[in-house]
Amino acid sequence: MRITALAGGVGGARFLRGLLHHARQTAAAAEGRGAADHLELTVIGNTGDDITLFGLRVCPDIDTLLYTLGGGIHEGQGWGRADETHHLAEELAALGAEPQWFTLGDKDFATHVYRSQLLGQGMPLSAVVERLSARWGLGELGVRLLPMTDTPVETHVVVDDGGDQRAIHFQEWWVRHRAALPAERFVVAGLDRATPAPGVLDAIREADLVVLPPSNPVVSIGIILGVPGVRDALRGTRAPVVGVSPLVGGRPVRGHADVCLRTIGVEESSAGVAGLYSDFLDGWLVDEDDAMPDRRGLEVVRRPLLMSSVEAAADMAGATVDLGMRLRAARATA
């Protein structure tokens, strides 16, 4: 089964790790019945919050996906490497280098140094991600990770700083100010002239199921949808598109999706998020207690949406796949 997912950072990565866990369980059970169906997972990762720090190109969402799926993530944080030291960053601080609000560990720095070297040699980001994926053994897991685009894209936030409007990098707003600085709007530099990375559109068109994990609908999935061609591919694919709401009771489980929705003038609710995807969404998982009005052509499933463990994430991913398969079967018989 070919599943294609559009993913941001922590939430997307944890959901997809759950999906792999679920697929292994299902495959083990199916092998007992002699009917194993191998999962081929293509992940289209957001690069909209990429940033250049100390002259090095940092791709926070791509790296969180690599580390989480490859088994190197810092579980407590959700981002960065496990068993990490920060000697390089401490020395950069001693040198007076800015910024100091973005935490980069020594092992993590290696990813950025390596990526920056290859990009500097003219290698496209997608080829760099392929190399990083090999280091993390994603191929052996049946996972192909693609950046949404090879075109450098950066999200900036226009903030109101005591009456003065100025644009700061998304990471500065998100990490340094914890999304607490009043945001007027998001400006995604480079997005309108970005082209989907090789394989992105085909992965959507040729999938058996397209999944939207509970990633931020504005600054993660919303950015991927803004890459010219991606939204059309989602509208045109014959695969069902099933999403998982990132909100529980109108609040994000993690991150600041509510603030992001407010900024773009969309209701902070599962219904509000579904509205952003209304032109291509077929199935929608929402939390048990969430209000979600019926909408023609949208199959809603209610269930707990907490990813408190790999097993819980696997259950959630399993429910997503089940809904997708149900929609597929319904189409086949229609």
Q: Site residues (CB under 8 A) for its own copies?
A: 54-56, 84-85, 87-92, 94-97, 105-107, 109-111, 113-114, 116-117, 120-121, 131-132, 135
| Residue (127 or 298) nearer to its own copies, CB | 127
Cα–Cα distance measured from residue 302 to residue 128, given in angstroms and rounded to the nearest whole number: 39
Tell the smallest beta-carbon distance from residue 113 to its own copies (Å): 5
Cα radius of gyration (the chain):
19
Tell the smallest beta-carbon distance from residue 170 to its own copies (Å): 21
Residue 201, Cα to own-chain centre: how many angstroms? 16
Tell the smallest beta-carbon distance from residue 106 to its own copies (Å): 4
Neighbour tally for 165: CB within 10 Å: 10
Cα–Cα distance measured from residue 212 to residue 217, given in angstroms and rounded to the nearest whole number: 9
| Residue (37 or 90) nearer to its own copies, CB | 90
| Residue (131 or 166) nearer to its own copies, CB | 131
- Is it true that the peptide bond before 99 is cis, omega within 30 degrees of 0? yes
| Residue (135 or 331) nearer to its own copies, CB | 135
| Residue (96 or 265) nearer to its own copies, CB | 96
From 148, 141, 147, select the one nearest 40 (Cα to Cα).
Answer: 141
Tell the smallest beta-carbon distance from residue 95 to its own copies (Å): 5
Alpha-helical regions (H) of the chain:
10-32, 60-70, 87-94, 106-120, 125-135, 170-171, 200-205, 221-226, 230-236, 257-263, 270-276, 310-333
With vertex at residue 143, the alpha carbon angle to CA 49 and CA 107, rounded to the nearest 5 degrees, is 55
Tell the smallest beta-carbon distance from residue 53 to its own copies (Å): 9
